[in-house]
Amino acid sequence: MTIASSRPSGLVRFATSVLFSAVSAPVLAEIDTFTLDHLSGPCSSTAFKTAHMNWAGRDRIRIASGERIAVRLYGHGADFAQDALGSNIHEWITGRGSTTNYPGAPIMFGGKVSKGYVVVAVKAEPSDGLGNRRVTVKWLTGNERINLKIVADCSDLANAVHRTAVVGGYGGNPLIRGTSPTGTSNLLPALATPVVLTRPLGPELVTTGGGMSRVDSFFCSGLTSNKVATVTVPSLTWGVSGVNPEAANAQFDVQLIDPKSNSTLDTLTLALGFPPNTPLVQRDNYPGRSTSIRVILNPRFQVGTAQNTVVGCFTEPGSSQALDPLELLIRVDPGELIDEGAREHDNELSF
């Protein structure tokens, strides 16, 4: 993301990126590469190139009227994207996380350095018309622009920069390099946004009223200070989306995992693959997840002869409540039962 006229370079820039990827609110978020996927609608046979493409030298992306695509942006801090906005086109963030599956991932302390990503779905409805469009992806520290062009039909995609080249000069259906006539499926983890989790934000605080954990300020919205209240926990909606979902016509699983304890919290099984005309299958929550929690805004405690106020939203002091894990992971097709060709690398989403 371009937010300043000067940029660090070489080792300084790399070290800065690594540092910012490890904190909860990065100062910088810069996009390095991007990938594209066809999700639904016409033109599934006109496949996108599967390789990572350079963000700095990107061209305008063509999308056919009625088509829905996914634009996945990779860069340190990319997963902290807040929103996607456009005019005369439909756009929304469908997922975010971190991965080590990107070109030239450096090795540090014996392992690959992870990089953030955000997935932006874009759909061109017939009512959106034709022509150039722009989607702006927003971070707290700036924004990036996805430039698109809505075209009338699939024939206008034949020579598009980001689509796989057409070979052969005969009539009828074009033969697409790198695909089969029926195509292969690409399975993608799906996470409905916004996501509001009860996970603790930092270590437990010890107080004269007992231990308490800071949680998202959402849970204390509109509450009166220093009064315990029971509030509803929004659903966590997760699952799987599919490109060419009809090709994934065998059983496969989608797991919600706590990677810290290496435990599976829930498994969504698609016994026959995707149901007909259903490229997105989701589930709410996981067994044992709290549907409400008790919280307190700006709690006050007696310390000697004085009262001490702790500013923020916290769990009820001294209570024992089940909170969300510090990290969650959606893993699609862990047994690799579905052939995804070159796209087996994007089956996990951490958040």
pLDDT single digits (tens) 114-155: 888 999 999 999 999 999 999 999 998 889 999 999 999 888
The 10s digit of each residue's pLDDT in 202-250 is 999 999 999 999 999 999 999 999 999 999 999 999 999 988 888 999 9
Percent of the chain clearing pLDDT 70 (strictly above): 86
Mean of pLDDT over the chain: 84
Q: Residue 178 — very low, low, confident or very high, per pLDDT cuts 50/70/90?
A: very low
Closest CA to 125 of 19, 2, 226, 41: 41
Look at the block and give the residue holding tokens 């709290």: 290
Q: Are 274 and 333 in contact (CB under 8 A)?
A: no
Predicted pLDDT of residue 35: 92
- Report the pLDDT value the prediction gives residue 28, as an integer from 0 to 100: 52
Task: Give the pLDDT confidence of 226-239 residue by residue, as tens digits.
Answer: 999 999 999 999 99
Dist CA 215 CA 196 (whole Å): 10
pLDDT, greater one: 350 or 21? 350
Asked if 139 and 77 count as a contact pair (C-beta separation under 8 A), the reply is: yes
Q: Which pLDDT score, from 0 to 100, does residue 16 have?
A: 39
Q: Are 332 and 188 in contact (CB under 8 A)?
A: yes
Domains, the chain, in order of start with CATH, read: 10-183 (2.70.50), 217-350 (2.60.40)
pLDDT at 68 (0 to 100):
92
Coil/strand/helix, residue 87: coil
Rounded to an integer, the average pLDDT of 260-288 is 93
Cα dist from 250 to 246, 253, 268, whole Å? 10, 10, 14
Give the per-residue pLDDT at 24: 38
